[in-house]
Amino acid sequence: MIWKIAECIAVFAECFMVTRLLVQYFGFKTDKLQQIKSILLFSFLSIIGIFGTFVAKQEIFFMVGFIIAEIIFSLLFLKGYVFEKCLICIISYILFYFINLPVLNFVGLLTNSEVYELVYAQDSRRIVCLFATKVLYFIVTQFIINLKKKESYNFKINEWTIIVSAFLITLLIGLLMYMVTENNSFSDWSFMGIALLLSSLDIIVFVFMRKLNIANQKETEQKLLNMLIEQQQSEIQQLDHQYQQLATLQHDFTNKTKCMQSLMRQGEYDKAILYSEKILGKEKDTIYAFIKCSSSVINAVVNSKFGKAQESGIKTSCRIVVPIPEYLEFDMSVLLSNLLDNAIEGCEKNRIPSQIILSISAYAGYYRVIIKNTIEKSILRDNKKLRTDKSNKQKHGWGLKSVYDIAEVHQGDVDIYEKNGMFIVNVLMMKNE
């Protein structure tokens, strides 16, 4: 009886992990009845697994039935290409062999047993093999899911050491228990309970180390992000200083030129007057070609980015209808700097006439920043998380992260979408009144 229960638990665990792999790897076509669909797949796989293990007792039935059920379910309910679905369904089953064989050989080596003995054994060795393989299958399928999501583990050597050591220790504990209890009356039920506990501990250790790894990554990313923001703020301050100096020079130059213009008028040097007027008009347009709002910092950033855009042949448009409060100047300047850089970079990839539209307004107790840029084709369709496509990912892809952080600091939100051939970023930041 105990051995049938152990085999049933193993079958249910396999079916659960296969269901989890397919659902998380591909995702459902629609949001309706997702849990019911997952339960349906798990139930069908479990029925096939139990029938193949205890009734038919033929591996070929188990294999074919498993794969066919997975493929049919994937084609009906899951997203993705047909070929990829079929491939993953086949791989999900092949993994059983790639995982089972090393474990069976390892246990056989330590217990002086043949592999075929362990497959059909009805003792503690079989329980050790069952639960060890399921723990490994869970870890491997999790790697495949993360690979699909493009999320790396980036475990450090000490973290890998803990994970591997935990698995090996629990495996050796199980084998030692078998050797110690082989010739006594130690309860098989107790042994299976301990095996379940040890397997659960392995998975808990893995999950815990994963969460710890993610937390460490986020802490490192946040430190790097803060450094980049500080660097950007320093650059913006320098740009603001240069902009103010330029504005002062313009003011002085304008006064001097007007004096020269007045003197020349007295001499009726018409050509000189026309020439001086052209100089004044050109210089004014050069400095204040785009915007002039209440914030010199915002002026400096937007004018600088719009100047870069126009050098690339990108049309620009700006509308700022609210004064920018002092407490928000630098955060908004960092936000605008990152978003306008992204918009310019996106437009430069286009083969069609491109435009960038900036709007800053007030909305229901929030400051609202909207930046639109022309796109040739959808970006979000294939890259919903907007991951950078640059080779050096450690130095790029931080701009949007800082935008989300700034919005969060000011109790706001970021909405990114596409409409009418435009890529649109809508940022809300609460007013501090």
pLDDT for res 332: 87
Task: Print the domain residue range for 307.
Answer: 290-433
- State the Cα–Cα distance between residues 55 and 194, nearest whole angstrom: 28
292-326 confidence digits (pLDDT tens): 777 778 887 888 888 889 888 999 999 888 888 88
- State the Cα–Cα distance between residues 102 and 140, nearest whole angstrom: 14
363-372 confidence digits (pLDDT tens): 888 999 999 9
Instruction: Answer yes or no: is 243 within a domain.
Output: no
Instruction: Answer yes or no: is 219 within a domain.
Output: no
Average pLDDT over residues 365-390: 81
Residues 6+ apart with CB under 8 A from 85: 26, 71, 74, 75, 78
Mean pLDDT score of the chain, rounded to an integer? 75
Instruction: Answer yes or no: is 160 within a domain.
Output: no
pLDDT for res 387: 66
pLDDT for res 287: 45
Say which residue the tokens 């000490």 belong to. 158
32-41 confidence digits (pLDDT tens): 888 888 888 8
Largest CA distance in the chain: 123
- Under the banding of pLDDT at 50, 70 and 90, the label for residue 433 is low
334 versus 433: the higher-pLDDT residue is 334
Write out the two tokens for 359. 């709007």
pLDDT for res 295: 79
Backbone torsions φ then ψ of 334, nearest 5 degrees? -65, -45
Instruction: Answer yes or no: is 226 within a domain.
Output: no
We report the CATH number of the domain holding residue 335 as 3.30.565.10
**Is the per-residue pLDDT at 282 higher than 70?**
no
**Is the per-residue pLDDT at 46 higher than 80?**
yes
- Domain stops at, among 108, 123, 151: 151
- Domain stops at, among 151, 185, 202: 151
pLDDT for res 162: 75
**Is the per-residue pLDDT at 194 higher than 60?**
yes
67-89 confidence digits (pLDDT tens): 888 899 989 888 888 888 888 88
pLDDT for res 344: 93
- Domain stops at, among 133, 151, 169: 151
333 versus 344: the higher-pLDDT residue is 344
Instruction: Answer yes or no: is 198 within a domain.
Output: no
- State the Cα–Cα distance between residues 121 and 363, nearest whole angstrom: 71
Pairing outcome for strands 315-320 and 355-363: parallel
Instruction: Answer yes or no: is 281 within a domain.
Output: no
Q: What is the dihedral of CA 8, 10, 16, 19, to 10 degrees?
A: -100
pTM of the model: 0.48
- State the Cα–Cα distance between residues 72 and 214, nearest whole angstrom: 35
Q: Where are the beta strands (DSSP E) in 310-377?
A: 315-320, 355-363, 366-374
**Share above pLDDT 70 across residues of the chain, in percent, rounded to a whole number:** 65
Range from 90-99, 148-157, 181-190, 279-288 that averages highest in pLDDT: 90-99
Instruction: Answer yes or no: is 173 within a domain.
Output: no
Task: Report yes or no: 362 and 322 within 8 Å, Cβ to Cβ.
Answer: yes
pLDDT for res 368: 93
Instruction: Answer yes or no: is 365 within a domain.
Output: yes
Give CA 344 to chain center in angstroms.
23
Q: Which of 21-30, 241-250, 399-408, 414-423 has the lowest mean pLDDT?
A: 241-250
DSSP notation for 68-85: HHHHHHHHHHB-S-HHHH
**What b/e string do you get for 260-299 counting C-beta neighbours within 10 Å, with b at 16 or more?**
ebeebeeeeeeeebeebeeebeeeeeeeeebbebebbbbb
Average pLDDT over residues 223-242: 63
pLDDT for res 314: 92
145-183 confidence digits (pLDDT tens): 877 776 555 667 776 677 677 767 776 776 666 665 555
388-431 confidence digits (pLDDT tens): 555 444 444 567 888 888 899 899 999 999 999 999 999 999 98
Structural domains in the chain (count): 2
Task: Report yes or no: 213 and 154 within 8 Å, Cβ to Cβ.
Answer: yes
Query: Which residues are 354's β-sheet partners?
Result: none
261 versus 337: the higher-pLDDT residue is 337
pLDDT for res 374: 93
